[in-house]
Structure 1
Amino acid sequence: MAALESQYMTILKKVLADRFVPFLPPLLGNANPTDQAAKQLSRAFSAFVLHKLLDITPQVAAASVVDDFNDKGIDAIHYHAPSETLYLLQTKLKESEQFKQDEANAFCEGVRLLLNQDFAVFNANVQARQAEIEGALDACSHIQLVVPYTGDGVSTSATDALDVLLNDDDLDEERLAKTVRYYTADDITRDLLGEQAYRPVHAEISLHKHQKVESPKATYYGIVRLADLVALHKKEGKALYERNIRYFLGSSKSDINKAIKATLHDRPEDFFYLNNGVTAVCDQVDPKGKNPTNGARKFKVRGLSIINGAQTVASASEFVDQHPGTSIDGAKVMLTLIKAAAEGEFGKRVTKARNHQNPVQSANFASLDDNQERLRQEIAHLGFEYHYRPEAMTNVGVQAITLDEALRALALLQNDPRYPVWLKSDPARLADPDSAEYQALFTPQLTGAALINAVLCYRAIRILMLANEQMAPARSQERLVYRHGGQAITAVMMKRLRRRINGANAVDANTIPHLVSQPLDQLRQEAAELAKDRLKFEGPLAYFRNLERTVPFLIDLMKNHFGLVNFQTETNPEKLHKLAAEKKTLAQDLAERLSVAAPQI
């Protein structure tokens, strides 16, 4: 069992401090402020777990915490009336430690004392709730022990100690559950990300003249009133399109969306004939009653997601908002409803195939990458918005990050020296989710904090580089080097920020310009000087789009800027054999080793 990853520990502590600490019972001890802050987070962890397990409010969960000195190993006590269960918790908020035997022994002792109602030995937090706890012990039908932890598991000796308690016939308590409920790092990660996930859409849909296809996937298709889909759109928002490759692009940016609105305005009854229809997937679809008047059959649908047709429905909704006196009751559209999990492989194949019929870019299909949604959820916890699919964005400030920014920032952070050239000459290959280049950028190990930090650093460097370009003499080689070689220069500077970028916390964007201003000024002058010798017979645009030219330029620029002028190419037979197997050139290998050796700011 792996311990809670550092980025999720950062998110968890923020949630604990913001949402649970304010409602905890006062601390009984007088520790120094630093120790008190750590103790409060540890206490709040118990409340977080109760909140997630039982779906109770943070206030109620926090009130259940008894963690303090002399708590006899019990950190929280909560009676859940709907299930008639008394929950007893001992939690451990330590990143790398197992739940150990001494902690289990303390918990077992506390449980025995509580079941014997020996309240005099407990702290004031427990004693203040004596009547409430006595009532819970009298009313409960079940007693459940819960051990939440953030470390890498529970020691064997700890489980043995707990088993002794649970199987102690002398305890004479048949209501005590025979198994401990463990709440692990995986549970924490799932529940934290789940807070930022779009809620599943459940709805009733009426289909006219419907038909059914039984296999390979149960599919219903028929005619639906466009007004019904508009109503669903207004109720559910983006959750209705969770697996679509694009959100609504806005009618002003799409001729298709303009045409949809024009048809609704002039000939709503013709809409069915002029539209390709809407496709949706769902987890479950069940036929219900039939309307005796118009013959429409109702379907109860769970986990609904429109995967093709977002522009149709959203444009119609926008039209209704803009023309409140105009009816679209005559507009109908073909709806195909496929029973297939949207996140499953079949659902993704359908999404991709249906959207390939539209004018879309390969980057749009990043929306089918589950990794992107994980990153969005992590980033949301850190106070930023990540827009990894095209949409009409309302927030374009510093807290909003786009897929294009993420691609560029991560590409320039790579050790592989070809990425700055690809950004200049062939950016599409980096945006294609099926390409090896894209997959090297968006790995499962990439954290939301690292993505935020990479983008913030990239932005700061680019702003400074643009300023330097504007200050360079007009039509000079220096200005053109900054313009066309800016990706290469930025890539070198990004290597010096790797340690900060890969931290568990989001960096303060205001500190980055001050941090990089002086070294970047030195770097861009070094690049301009190097270009004087290298670009005598070729323009900067052509030069920095050429791998054979740019990679040696990067090597010499890194050697000079990093103070590694004696860094040499390795040509021993073992190394050459390894490079041949990896299909790497000597120059590429040297550039990658220089990148790894970059001195950190």
Structure 2
Amino acid sequence: MDINKQIVDQRIRKIISDNEDWFVSEKDEKRKQAKAFVLLATASYLRVDLSEAITFLTEGGNDAGIDALFVGDPIDYEFPVTIFQGKYKFDLESDSNFPSNSLIRVLNTVNTIFDPSNEVKLNELLQPKVEEILSLISDGYIPNVKCIMVNNGLSWNDEGEHHIKNAGIPENQVVFEHYNHDDIVEHLKSKKEINDTITMVGKSIVEEFNFKRVLIGKVRVTDVAALMDRHGDDLLEKNIRKYLGLRKTRINESISETLTGEKRSNFYFFNNGITMVSDQFSHNALSAENWQVRVKDIQIINGGQTCKTIQETVNKHSDLDFSEAYVLLRLYELSGESHEELQYDITIATNSQNPVDLRDLRANEKIQRDLEIAINELGYSYKRKREGISSSVEAIPSSVAAEAIFSIWKHKPHLTKFRKNELFGKFYFDIFKDVNAAQLVIAVLIFRYCDSQRKKTSLLSNYPHISYSNYFLAMLMGEELLKKMNINLAQLTHKNFSSAKQILDQHKEDFYKLANQRLIKALNELYVEGYEKVELRRLSSTFRRGDLLVKLGY
């Protein structure tokens, strides 16, 4: 029996036993396991915790073949959409291909849901997400779609590949990927340091200063592709643009076009190059050129898009001659106590574009370490950086904390939802400045409660705004809690944390009801015809604007 299949099967059974509330709608044990598998795969692929991944699940009746759907933040008038379709084989002894009929269903869905002129009836979890996508498209944003076919077996066969190629879907905007039990286990494993040899071409420069070393030279793009083939995305663990680098963008297309065009020999001059860091590198200094550089604990901190696109292009166009195509390499040797801080500074300085995720780079800052200690004292664990996949309700990822604080205590729900990529960048100090552990934990508890209400069918049918308004409702609930305690935010500390949590547990339903009433009143002031009559995609866009905050008195 495949050991990785056993590992995944054990993990999904544990997810079910640890989080029974997530599976109450599934009466059959096999349906619970299938749902848990999609949940685990979604969390693994997107590199998020299970508590966040559960919000992306959409499976059920009228799900159009979409078991989970992730919509990312718009960047440069593009936004990522990731569709998951899962098939779990309960017989762990058998190996089968991903079914072609499931591929066809997803292909039909892609051809339908991204066209604003189409009317599609979907389930209560999926419909709001699709309307949100259509709202962004109507505002001029372009979706970049990834369809992830997940199973605990093999990829699709030639018939499936034929369906994809003949679906008429633009390859530069929609890509299909296979993700299975082996990929999940690989992500679950702790990352080991990467040691390898890099071949420099021609003369290179090595200089030492301030107890650090730097090597500058050029490498063949074929060697970059081979390096990525050997180590994959593990090389990008410290790259703040990692996830942007994995999707198709105009930048990626431009890189690929240059490499496959007649000017590929000039690629070195057109590209900004790659920046790598290492603990140590060594070479034969007696050689004048063409060094073989041995590198210990290598990471790519800038140029992730370049590396991924080089890998994809070289592997896809094996018939082309890339021997004269080079790329600039900067390799830094950083060691000592200041390693992490210096790496952070270099990463920020060399990523002049909008960063995607600074969470892991902020993890070692004093404010994050202090919060971790204080939160542990309250009986919760604070995850400063991504470390595998946690299913514990006591575990609070810093990403969830940032969303909760910014929307609830900082009164920025409209920015929290649609500018998540800036929470640890532009808004970082606005979020975490003067926030204590008690305020953080209470905010997360409110935030998670509101998110759980968002999935209740009875509430969705009575209050259509709930699909989009959980950040606003959480903010209003926070205000109701402080009002009930007769304190201001600064007075919420570890001294009255237990009291605050007890009051929240006892009155959260009342707080939610009051918040809902206030929000509906504000919405009806914006839409005099009654907010229930407003088209869903127009209603969705309401929560991206600040005028609703004004109506609420903020």
Whose relative contact order is higher, 1 or 2, with alpha carbons under 8 Å and at least 6 apart?
2
Give the structure with higher Rg (CA): 1
- TM value normalised by structure 1: 0.42
